[in-house]
């Protein structure tokens, strides 16, 4: 009998070793891990982070796993919940454009919580992280960029499978147990896009929730809890149930899994806004560099793909005049206006105070958009955009971006990732601690245990 998709992926996971991973996969993984740690350390003072940490503390739990930056340990699932939610607070954690989701912020909190509890090595941590990341990204790719139109957020819906797979791998489960772990994840796949309607925090929770659920599922499967082997490809499985108009390609899940690593092409973000805004932000910074006097701008036209219009311009009144940070993070007019006025798009430009800058809002009111058929043709392979500025005297300026900074074709180097980490961790830890974290992550595969790294990030 032909084995199901999850059984095939589970068998690959059982056999996978660190030595099977190409050097570039290992090096990129360390870059993603350092980047996420910077996001975690930066976010601990954010109100949404404080709330989830307070809830986790109220619930309690065996103190086996660290909540990053909070000097607190709790159970592995609760630590995964807190770290996943905090890591997504600024929306500056990495993402995968064709998988159309954030993977590391879901998978890493799950594997870290269990690696700490069970005293795993750096090699084991990286291997589990790679395996889990590959699962969630490939599931996202299988929807061909269309699951958004069904109202689902792949970071949550696909992410729980990646967290589950990574957690199962760090626990050393066999193929049958991994299959059950993935099957249990199917009962916990969740994440609606409705958070964007009112600029709420629930998107951040849609990183923490799957991290927690994947961890919990692996612990249950370890003890013999069963789940369907057909969780992905069954008649009522994930691919059919979560697809838009039955559009999916299950070959994306399994083809060359274990020899071709999609997760290594994850993009590191350099702007504190939605991934769909990244090329717009790059265009805006390019236009800023052209020396445009924004007070003399008559109109701005952005030409983008269809989904960028859907996610970044609706509801229109909240995008042109954002009232929350989430509104601004997912606003086409704000991303363009912010970059053109300030010449940067860091977390400092996405606070409750700075999103109300009158100069930015005035320019945002002049931004319009239209569908670019050429951009739509290549979605979700990549997200090109064009921004055209018309001045009051009729002069025009144009900027076009195919691959924003951070994409595999325009990558963030290790040195640039280090610079971002230093900026994100800011005043939260001292320079000695920053240097040591960078050194430890840079040599993660050489660590027999994670105790020193855990102690510093605690």
15-33 confidence digits (pLDDT tens): 999 999 999 999 999 999 9
Average pLDDT of the residues in 398-415: 96
Q: How far is CA 33 from CA 38, 86, 242, 372, in A?
A: 9, 14, 29, 35
Beta pairing partners, 398: 388
d(CA 346, CA 30) in angstroms, rounded, equals: 22
pLDDT value of residue 249? 97
Question: Tokens 């890591």, residue?
Answer: 87
What pLDDT does residue 220 have? Answer: 98
Q: With 90 as the cut, is the pLDDT of residue 428 above it?
A: no
Q: What is the pLDDT of residue 427?
A: 76
Instruction: Say how many Å lie between the first and final Cα of the chain, rounded.
Output: 48
The answer to whether residue 128 scores a pLDDT higher than 90 is yes
| C-beta atoms surrounding 259 within 10 Å | 9
Would you state the pLDDT for residue 222? 98
Lowest mean pLDDT among 56-65, 309-318, 439-448: 309-318
Residue 297 φ then ψ, to 5°: -80, 130
Q: How far apart are CA 434 and CA 384, in angstroms?
A: 35
For 348-374, write each residue's pLDDT tens digit.
999 999 999 999 999 999 999 999 999
Confidence of residue 426 (pLDDT cuts 50, 70, 90): confident
User: Tokens for 389?
Assistant: 């500025």
Return mean pLDDT, the chain: 97
Question: What is the arithmetic mean of pLDDT over 418-424?
Answer: 96
Closest CA to 328 of 306, 295, 299, 361: 361
In the predicted model, what is the mean pLDDT of residues 263-285? Answer: 96
Q: Using pLDDT thresholds of 50, 70 and 90, give the confidence band for residue 196.
A: confident
Label residue 319 by pLDDT band (50, 70, 90): very high
The pLDDT, as a whole number, for residue 69 is: 96
The dihedral over CA atoms of 368, 374, 380, 381, expressed in degrees to the nearest 10, equals -130
Three-state SS at 37 = helix
Domains of the chain: 5-270+415-457 (1.10.4100.10), 275-401 (3.30.1330.120)
235-256 confidence digits (pLDDT tens): 999 999 999 999 999 999 999 9
Return the pLDDT at 1.
81
Q: What are phi and psi of 72, to 5 degrees?
A: -150, 140
| Burial class of 373 by CB neighbour count within 10 A (0 to 12, 13 to 18, 19+) | exposed
**Helix ranges restricted to H, 75-201:** 76-87, 104-117, 122-142, 154-157, 159-170, 175-185
Going by the DSSP 8-state scheme, the letter that residue 195 receives in this structure is: G
């Amino acid at each position: 009998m032909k084995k199901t998709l999850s059984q095939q992926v589970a068998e690959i996971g059982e056999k996978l070793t660190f030595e099977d991973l190409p050097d570039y996969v290992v090096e990129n993984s360390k870059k993603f891990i350092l980047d996420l740690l910077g996001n975690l350390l930066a976010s601990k003072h954010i109100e949404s982070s404080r709330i989830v940490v307070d809830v986790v503390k109220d619930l309690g739990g065996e103190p086996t796993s660290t909540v990053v930056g909070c000097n607190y340990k709790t159970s592995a699932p609760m630590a995964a919940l807190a770290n996943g939610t905090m890591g997504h607070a600024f929306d500056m954690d990495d993402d995968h454009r064709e998988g159309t989701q954030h993977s590391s912020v879901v998978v890493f909190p799950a594997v870290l919580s269990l690696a700490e509890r069970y005293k795993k090595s750096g090699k084991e941590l990286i291997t589990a992280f790679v395996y889990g990341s590959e699962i969630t990204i490939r599931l996202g790719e299988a929807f061909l960029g269309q699951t958004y139109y069904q109202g689902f957020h792949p970071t949550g819906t696909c992410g729980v499978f990646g967290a589950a797979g990574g957690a199962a791998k760090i626990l050393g489960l066999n193929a049958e147990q991994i299959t059950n772990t993935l099957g249990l994840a199917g009962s916990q796949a969740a994440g609606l896009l409705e958070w964007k309607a009112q600029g709420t925090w629930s998107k951040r929770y849609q990183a923490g929730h799957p991290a927690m659920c994947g961890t919990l599922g692996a612990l249950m499967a370890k003890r013999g809890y069963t789940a369907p082997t057909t969780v992905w490809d069954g008649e009522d499985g994930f691919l059919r149930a979560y697809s838009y108009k039955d559009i999916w390609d299950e070959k994306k899940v399994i083809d060359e899994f274990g020899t071709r690593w999609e997760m290594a092409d994850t993009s590191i973000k350099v702007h504190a806004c939605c991934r769909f805004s990244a090329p717009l932000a790059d265009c805006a910074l390019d236009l800023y560099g052209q020396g445009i006097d924004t007070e003399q701008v008559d109109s701005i036209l952005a030409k983008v793909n269809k989904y960028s219009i859907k996610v970044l311009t609706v509801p229109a009144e909240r995008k042109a005049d954002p009232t929350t940070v989430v509104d601004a993070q997912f606003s086409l007019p704000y991303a363009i206006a912010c970059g053109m006025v300030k010449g940067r798009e860091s977390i400092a430009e996405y606070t409750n105070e700075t999103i109300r800058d009158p100069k930015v809002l005035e320019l945002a009111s002049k931004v319009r958009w239209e569908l670019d058929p050429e951009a739509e043709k290549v979605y979700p392979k990549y997200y090109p955009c064009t921004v055209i500025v018309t001045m009051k005297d009729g002069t025009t300026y144009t900027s076009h971006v195919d691959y924003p900074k951070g994409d595999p074709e325009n990558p963030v180097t290790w040195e640039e990732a280090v610079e971002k980490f230093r900026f994100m961790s800011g005043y939260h830890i001292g320079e000695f601690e920053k240097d040591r974290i960078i050194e430890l992550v840079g040599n993660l595969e050489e660590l027999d245990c994670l105790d020193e790294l855990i102690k510093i990030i605690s």
